[in-house]
Amino acid sequence: MLYPKNPLAQTVIQLCKAKNIQHIVISPGSRNAPLTIGFTNDPFFTCYSIVDERCAGFFALGIAQQIERPVALVCTSGSALLNYYPAIAEAFYSDIPLVVLSADRPRYLIGIGDGQTINQKDVYANHILNSANLKLNFENAPKNSNETEPAIIRSIENKLERMLGVKQELDDENETKINTALNKAISLNGPVHINIPFEEPLYETTDKMTVEPKVIEFETKKKKIDDFFIQECYDDWNTYSRKMILVGANQPNKVDQHILDELAKDNSVIVFTETTSNIHNKQFFNSIDKMIAPLTEEGFQALQPDILVTFGGLIVSKKIKGFLRKFQPKHHWHIDKKNANDTFFCLDKHIEATPNQFFNALLPRLTHFVKSDYKPFWNDIKLLRDEKHQEYLEQVPFSDFKVFDTVLKVLPEQTILQLGNSSAVRYAQLFDLKKTIQVFCNRGTSGIDGSTSTAIGCAKVHKKQTVFITGDLSFFYDSNALWNNYIPNHFRIILINNQGGGIFRILPGHKNTKKFDTYFETTHNLTAKQLCKMYEFEYDVAANERQLKAQLKTFFEESNQPKLLEIFTPRTLNDDVLLDYFKFIK
């Protein structure tokens, strides 16, 4: 087998292998050649070549999101690693493990005007779990360089024993840094950065490894929830008759079914689930905005919980955030092993556990349910909302709202559904989904910049069909995502083209003016047809309900190419239809 001759590259590659980091997303470059040579010549690794680093970052994020293990990104020096930053920020706030392996120039070439160099050290400082800045054992620095490490080496170059001692110290330091970074990515589920300086020559190879780095295992201590703490929670739980559980973004099948069933029996508990929660129960309230948007002051007071329990990722619904910030619960507990966001400005308990650990400790202590009409009262309102929802659908014209209803009803069972941000994920929150559909969306930073790339990364590691529903601005923004040789034929894109940023027409603002159209809604006349031709996607189009239903009959069937269905909706009607919906269901 072929290996890079560079010992630092060998060290990084062997430690990635030892930590079972198998998927490697590589962007082309010269300075990262030692890493590229090592990863691509070892059959243990599955390597991908993605030219655009921003797309590469989100493609890797999509893979890591699904396999729930770290994925490595490899890039050259200079601005290349800056293009990873949007994906790094998303991974940081969504608890997704990514490992950035950035090649760098030696220190003596940085800050002197040499080509393709920037200050790469700690470049992701505010959005990273760990930054490991490796050091070279030897550098070919000029004699007038101020570099301390080369100076030390040069000053003792005739003292072999001491020189080897310094080299060993640097090797040990580098190995410890790499182990620490990789262990944090694995144990804490988040992004880490390993910056690796390489001296030329870069392309030399060898037929055997020359280094054997030490592998440092990370400790996996299971933290037991304190009995006194659980008793305190139990006392409060049994005291109050209005408990609300709010679930944000959540990996599928992470909460035991018996826990969900038990919570569903309790009339003092309302469970609000977002579309991205991947939690289903007929007793739960899955369309939050449908429930609370029409409420009056009196209604909000009736819904105000005594105890709010949250778990999962960030919340999409602005309406429930506004409600709970104004009508705060007496207690807010957040369940998460790592972080607890004070989203509603009233957090008083961070339960450092998984939902399973907490509820399996709490629920067996409950000998009875607190008598309450909390859930029955809101169940009746939920039934009324559902009736009005169906009544509105029967009279609504062709629009974004109608499209989501039509599409979501016919999604095949077992589909992996990736949602674009802004309008797409918000519309999806208003509709029921089949229980077997797993839903994902980049809600860590809620950006539109990499949704397509993430969906393609997801599709690459799944045998199940992945369907990506997106708006036009998000799609065209990330169109380089299609410049990708790994898109499976079962991948499907549903592009809802309303000729601009339709979300801005729903928000407060002076719409239908030239400045609004240009700087907020950013209207356009673009279509995906030519992109599909260039990237070999099967292209279909629909501009009314009849065409849409006809196209959907065959859209999800097997094909020899990935498919894109572009649906044109009326730009100036969509916002009125949605705003009128909330008035109607009231």
State the pLDDT at residue 152.
45
Q: Residue 262 and residue 359: Cα distance in Å, rounded?
A: 10
pLDDT score for 147: 47
pLDDT for position 563 = 98
* Tokens describing residue 111: 């800050």
Cβ neighbour number for residue 324 with a 10 Å cutoff: 25
Outline where DSSP puts E strands in 381-491: 416-419, 438-441, 466-471
pTM as predicted: 0.93
SS3 content of the chain, % helix, strand, coil (to 5): 45, 15, 40
Distances (CA, A) of 434 to 174, 248, 373, 577: 49, 18, 29, 25
CA distance 279 to 377: 22
User: Which whole-number Å values give the CA distances from 486 to 7, 410, 453, in the listed order?
Assistant: 31, 26, 11
CB 100 within 8 A of CB 170: no
**What is the spatial distance between Cα 324 and Cα 343, in angstroms, rounded to a whole number?**
9
Distance between CA atoms of residues 474 and 281, nearest Å: 32
Q: Calculate helix-pair angle for 355-362, 227-239, nearest 10 degrees.
A: 70
End-to-end CA distance of the chain: 69
What is the C-alpha separation between 346 and 327, in angstroms, rounded? 10
pLDDT at 268: 97
Q: Which domains does the chain have, with CATH numbers?
A: 3-202 (3.40.50.970), 227-378 (3.40.50.1220), 396-584 (3.40.50.970)
Q: Which residue has the tokens 């067996």?
A: 364
- Residue 139 has a pLDDT of 56
Residues near 343 by beta carbon (within 8 Å), at least 6 away in sequence: 310, 315, 321, 324
pLDDT less than 50: residues of the chain: 147-157
Per DSSP (E only), the strands in 173-265 are 192-197, 205-206, 243-247
